[in-house]
Amino acid sequence: MSYDILVVGSGIGGMESAIKLGDMGYKVLVVEKDSSVGGKMILLSKVFPTLDCASCISTPKMAATVNHPNIDVMTYSEVEQVQRVQNGQFKVRVRRKPTFINQSACTGCRQCEEVCNVAVPDQFNFDLVARRAAYIPFPQAVPKKAVIEKRGSSPCSFTCPAGIKAHGYVALARSGKFDEAFNLVLDSTPLVGSLGRACYAPCEGQCTRGGLEGPVEIRRLKSYIAERHYNAHPQPVTLTTAEPKGRQVAVVGSGPAGLTCAFQLARQGYGVKIFEAASRPGGMLGLAIPAYRLPREVLDRDIQNVTALGVKIATNTRVNNIDSLQEQGFDAVFLATGTPGNARLGVAGENLNGVIGALEFLRRVNLGEDVNLQGQKVVVIGGGNVAMDAARVAARLGAAQVALHYRRSREDMPAHGWEVEAAGVEGVEFHYFSAPVKFNGQDGQLNTVELIRLEPGAPDAGGRPKPVPVQGSEHQVAADLVITAVGLVPQAAGLADGLKLNPDGTVLVNTDTLQTAVPHVFAGGDVVTGPSMIVNAVAQGKKAAFYIDRYLRGEQLAGVNYDDRLPVVDQKEVMGRQQSYSNLPAVGTKNQNGTNMTGQTSAGSVTEPALTEAEARYSAGRCLDCGVCSECSQCITTCPANAVDMAMRERVEEVEAAAVIMSTGFKLFPAELKTQYGYGTLKNVITGMHMDRLLAPTRPYNSVLRPGDGKVPDNIAFVLCTGSRDCTVDNQLCSRVCCMYSVKHNQLIMGALPLADVTVYYMDIRAFSKGYDEFYQQAEAMGANFVRGRIAGIDENQDGNLVLQYEDIANGGQTVTAEHDLVVLSVGMLPNTDAYGIFSGESLQTDDFSFVKEMDEDIDPGRTSIDGVFVAGTASGARDIPDSILHAGAAAAQAAAYVERARVKR
């Protein structure tokens, strides 16, 4: 697309330039970074000196801009690059930010906003109140379409291997929408309760709150959500499934991978049967994980989520030959048999009675066999989570002594730190740099273990020091039972003709699609990855279901974008936007009252105690909403227009333009820089922009009130020149508008709060333009009190009132104080330098104060250092609205003349 003029920014200046140029017949493109045109003016209450509604002046221009036949508008877009090309035109790259809502389908009904569970400070109300992640910026927005603010994936959701929307269910729990939270997890996996109990929760490791008081207890929240749901619904709620597809899938193995895959495929209408070799379903969940970590009824209820969809589970059914499944009518197979084998130590005596693999040991316990260790001495070999489970189970079964030997240091131990700690509390002894040499026994029955001490030696392939034996350190210890936990191995050999295995015995698959060498056989979980975590197996099951579905529908498997999560947000950026961050300790450490709120897997307790609802909501309330949008899906299901599109991604459009107008506006002076005024600390010190919002017809509250305590103020002070005419904040310039908007506020306040006193502290009242001094006189006549004197400092009284200190020039020059209940800092304008870098190959010159430089203001207003680039409004210096409009009109004339000259040249 080729335009005559590109207008960057759609504030009052940009709109004026665009409309005038459009009226003249030029093709104009307006690019606006926000989702509505209108800039800052539309946010104001009324405007001086005529006291027109800002809305009344802005809305016709906003509508005219977007409806003009000669003007195209790109909202929620940013100009990335402007580069001159050979014909003298500019090539313009525009970044169209994803709105995640189909803008042509959106009707502006705001239902997405109402169901959205993330609240962030509302920049359009200057943070006085919150808005939602899905939002329409203000009632008069043009176009009136919602967008969803999504800065990227939240670290928790991004980290979850299974793609469970952790942030989403935390946000739902925060809003008390526990069933919705359950369903959101269920969307990924049926194992909501099991993961809630036994997941190692990599999400929590990435939680931004973790860098503060400790991560949000995401796993325990999920546990709470599941238990609450299961208590309310002992039987699964019927899920809607797709129409039966008439195709059958066999799932071999009923561990987390198999169950998840079966669940996903059944939902999509496939007939699914699970084959399980053991006597009960669940795989490692039921066999290896101790019941104190994962109560059986939780697992059973999770499995019901699968069987409720019609999935059959054949237990005690070992599949020895996958090929036979095809003959039984299965169109595809998912192989998820896990790692049922125990790796061997390769040490003499390993076959003695009394030496047992950890998995076998745990299986016996879990299947309810009578395993009595009362008074026995137990040695555990290994340092992983399975070793830890075995040791802790042994301790709970009454062993007199449980000694765990590990060949490296504690730091090297792969087991989770908290589990090591809990084991220690439960009485497990730890021996580091220690390894068995030989198991001794009599009559085939173990009685001692010969151990040797090790020391760190030369680095091994992994870079860690390889433990080497300390010569002569061999020693014997008595043992009734040795549990070896040095690794688990798959047993997949010979399952099918053509199935290929890796050297370590795992099944060889295409890692993108999980398809094995046999096309209709897919494999996933530990049988592919080797021993891993539950949630990884869940991830594989989910992914396998995705590709099996595609396979069965005859679609291509390669090159499909399975995981379309956005890049993770930068946690520094997340912390940067926490303006008022409150200290919220984790449940389980200390609550706000300093009392213990039940610990995480507290040592010695039989099972982990459930969170209470209050704790759950408190915990969820600690979430910092890193990605902003939590991906809770509520808007997707609610939108009556079906307009939400989470797959939307940023795209870049290229257009050409003959000339450019920069109408990028200004930034407000950040009042916190003037530290002696206490802005940000003193609650009842606000800025002029806040006062405009408080007075606007679209105001956030019903009346003018002070934010500290909601009191309606009756004695309001204005502090002029906050951040202007002030070398201490590096801004010598006068901002031109603050005197007048303060005078405007005076008049409006006297209308809204007739009994309130208004005092203005000033150096000079700069009422210089047409009708301004008259307006100032009018405010004075209405009773506004003007005091010449610059405020030196502001303190707060206990009641939230503020004490202002100043030199009372008019009355003898003493330093005096005055008390007010609300202070308005009349902040001024600073340059908005955000877009200066868009020009490639040429540089946009600025003046000494970083405003866009006008090269010949006297004769050629609006002309910048780049030929064909013009500036309109406050981008080139502080201006009030009438002056901005005139300046924008001038910039339009300049740009039009430039375009005409360029035409003649061509």
Partner 1 sequence: MSDRRIGVYICHCGGNISDYVNVETVRQAVANEPGVVVAKTAMFSCSDATQQEMIQDIREQNLDGLVVASCSPKLHLPTFREVARRAGLNPYRYTQVNIREQCSWTHTNDHAGATEKAVRLVRAGIARTNLTDPLQPIVIDTVPAVLVVGAGIAGLRAAVGLADLGLSVYLVEKSPAPGGRVGDFGAMYPHGKNGRQLIDRLVGEVRKRELVTLFTNAEMVAKSGTIGSFNVKIRVGGKAPGEINVDVGAIVVATGFDNYQPAADEYGYGMDGVITLPEFKKLLDDNAGELEYNSRQVKNIVYIYCVGSRQQDGENPNKYCSRYCCNAAVHASLQVSEKSPRAHQFHLYRDVRTYGKYELMYNEAREKGAVFCAFGGDEPPEVVSGPDGKLKVTVRDLLTYGEELAIPADLVVLVTGMVPAANSWLTELLKLPLGQDRFFNEIHPKLRPVETMVDGVFICGTCQGPKNSAESVASALAAVSQGASILKKGYVELEPLIAAVDPQACDLCGDCLETCPYSAIEQDTAAIRINSAQCKGCGGCAPVCPKGAINLKGYTDGQVKSMIDALLKEI
Rule CB under 8 A: say whether 542 interacts with partner 1. no
CA dist., res. 518 & res. 309, Å (int): 28
Q: Other C-beta atoms within 10 Å of 904: how many?
A: 6
Q: Which of 177, 766, 820, 853 binds partner 1 (CB under 8 A)?
A: 766
* Identified binder of partner 1 from the candidate list 468, 478, 560, 897, rule CB under 8 A: 897
Task: Write the secondary structure of 376-413 as one string of H (helix), E (strand) and C (coil).
Answer: CEEEEECCCHHHHHHHHHHHHCCCCEEEEECCCCCCCC
Q: Exactly one of 56, 232, 560, 792 binds partner 1 (CB under 8 A); which one?
A: 56
Whichever of 21 and 660 has its CB closer to partner 1, that residue is 21
Nearest distance from residue 679's CB to partner 1, in Å? Answer: 23
- Count interface residues toward partner 1 (CB under 8 A): 83
Q: What are phi and psi of 340, to 5 degrees?
A: -80, -10
Q: Which of 84, 91, 108, 269: binder of partner 1 (CB under 8 A)? A: 108
Residue 694 engages partner 1 in binding (rule: CB under 8 A): no
State yes or no: residue 292 binds partner 1 (CB under 8 A). no
- Say whether 115 sits in a helix, a strand or coil: helix
Asked whether position 887 contacts partner 1 by CB under 8 A, the answer is yes
Q: 430 near 409, Cβ under 8 Å?
A: no
Q: Under the criterion CB under 8 A, does residue 730 sit at the interface with partner 1?
A: no
Q: Tell me: does residue 896 bind partner 1 (CB under 8 A).
A: yes
Q: Is 893 in the site for partner 1 (CB under 8 A)?
A: yes
Which of 593, 810, 905, 906 is the binder for partner 1 (CB under 8 A)?
810
- Among 573, 764, 799, 834, interactor with partner 1 by CB under 8 A: 764
- When asked if residue 879 is in the footprint of partner 1 (CB under 8 A), the reply is yes
- The window from 23-31, 287-295, 364-372, 678-686 that contacts partner 1 (CB under 8 A) reads 23-31
Which residues in 66-85 contact partner 1 (CB under 8 A)?
A: 66-67
Near partner 1 by CB under 8 A, which window of 16-24, 358-366, 540-548, 816-824? 16-24
**CA dist., res. 369 & res. 704, Å (int):** 72
Given candidates 292, 418, 562, 849, which one binds partner 1 under the rule CB under 8 A?
849
Binders in 784-803 for partner 1, by CB under 8 A: 788
Q: Is 772 in the site for partner 1 (CB under 8 A)?
A: yes
By CB under 8 A, residue 712 contacts partner 1? no
Burial of 595: CB neighbours in 10 Å, binned 0-12, 13-18, 19+: exposed
- Near partner 1 in 813-832, by CB under 8 A: 813
Nearer to partner 1, 37 or 352 (CB): 37
- How far, in Å, CA of 835 to CA of 294, rounded? 55
Which of 174, 766 has the CB closer to partner 1? 766
Measured distance CA(428)–CA(448) in Å, rounded: 18
62 binds partner 1 (CB under 8 A): yes
151 contributes a contact to partner 1 by CB under 8 A? no
27 binds partner 1 (CB under 8 A): no
Whether 55 and 140 have beta carbons less than 8 Å apart is answered as: yes
Does residue number 809 form part of the binding site for partner 1 (CB under 8 A)? yes
Record the tokens describing residue 245, joined without a space: 């597809």
What gap in Å lies between CA 257 and CA 274, rounded to an integer? Answer: 11
Stretch that binds partner 1, among 192-200, 638-646, 709-717, 853-861 (CB under 8 A): 853-861
Which residue in 715, 760, 713 sits closest to 741, CA to CA?
760
705 touches partner 1 (CB under 8 A): no
**R_g over Cα of the chain:** 35
CB 190 within 8 A of CB 306: yes
The least distance separating partner 1 from the CB of residue 836, rounded to whole angstroms, comes to 18
* Residue 278 within binding range of partner 1, rule CB under 8 A: no
Report the nearest approach of partner 1 to the CB of residue 544 (Å). 46
Stretch that binds partner 1, among 243-251, 331-339, 685-693, 871-879 (CB under 8 A): 871-879
- Cβ nearer to partner 1, comparing 349 with 877: 877
Could you tell me the smallest distance in angstroms from the CB atom of residue 741 to partner 1? 14
The region of 140-148, 205-213, 266-274, 488-496 touching partner 1 under the rule CB under 8 A is 140-148
Q: What is the DSSP letter of 856?
A: B
Out of 193, 295, 861, 868, the residue judged to bind partner 1 by CB under 8 A: 861
Per residue, what are the HEC states of 459-473? ECCCCCEEEEECCCC
Minimum distance of partner 1 from residue 721's CB (angstroms): 10
In the bound complex, what is the minimum distance in angstroms from residue 43's beta carbon to partner 1? 12
Rounded Cα–Cα distance for residues 410 and 420 (Å): 9
* Contact range with partner 1 by CB under 8 A, out of 147-155, 394-402, 622-630, 811-819: 811-819
Q: What are phi and psi of 193, to 5 degrees?
A: -70, -40
Closer of 57 and 794 to partner 1 (Cβ): 57
Closest to 414 in 3D by CA, of 356, 353, 486, 482:
486
- By the rule CB under 8 A, 773 interacts with partner 1: yes
Listed ranges 312-320, 353-361, 548-556, 809-817: which one lies at the site for partner 1 (CB under 8 A): 809-817
Binding piece for partner 1, criterion CB under 8 A, among 42-50, 120-128, 607-615, 659-667: 42-50
Stretch that binds partner 1, among 120-128, 283-291, 525-533, 874-882 (CB under 8 A): 874-882
Which of 5, 47, 118, 399 touches partner 1 by CB under 8 A?
47
Q: Is 88 in the site for partner 1 (CB under 8 A)?
A: no
Q: Which member of 1, 2, 50, 318 binds partner 1 (CB under 8 A)?
A: 50
The alpha carbon torsion through 378, 381, 387, 388 (nearest 10 deg) reads 60
Cα torsion through 85, 89, 95, 99, rounded to 10: -160
Residue ranges with strand state E in 19-163: 28-31, 46-47, 52-53, 71-74, 77-84, 90-96, 119-121, 130-132, 134-135, 147-148
Could you tell me which stretch among 565-573, 631-639, 741-749, 852-860 binds partner 1 (CB under 8 A)? 852-860
- C-alpha to C-alpha distance for 213 and 30, rounded to whole angstroms: 46
Interface with partner 1 by CB under 8 A: which range of 476-484, 549-557, 664-672, 808-816?
808-816
Among 231, 476, 589, 777, interactor with partner 1 by CB under 8 A: 777
Contact between 640 and partner 1 per CB under 8 A: no
Q: Cα separation of 722 and 730, whole Å?
A: 12
Among residues 607, 769, 785, 865, which is the contact residue for partner 1, using CB under 8 A?
Answer: 769
Q: Among the candidate windows 1-9, 211-219, 300-308, 880-888, which touches partner 1 by CB under 8 A? A: 880-888
693: left (phi over 0), alpha (psi -120 to 50) or beta: alpha
First CA to last CA distance, the chain: 19
Task: Please report which residue ranges of 41-96 form alpha helices under DSSP H.
Answer: 54-67
CB 290 within 8 A of CB 301: no
**Residue whose C-alpha is closest to residue 730's, from 848, 876, 875:** 848
Q: Is 52 in the site for partner 1 (CB under 8 A)?
A: yes
Of 90-98, 318-326, 528-536, 887-895, which part binds partner 1 (CB under 8 A)? 887-895
Say which DSSP state 797 is in.
-
Secondary structure (DSSP) of 199-242: ---HHHHH-GGGGTT----HHHHHHHHHHHHHHH-SSPPPPP-P
Q: Smallest distance, Å, CB 111 to partner 1?
A: 14
Q: Please return the burial class of 591, using the count of CB atoms within 10 Å of its CB with bins 0-12, 13-18 and 19+.
A: middle
What whole-number distance in Å separates Cα of residue 300 and Cα of residue 772? 77
Degrees, nearest 5: CA angle 345-348-350: 60
768 binds partner 1 (CB under 8 A): yes
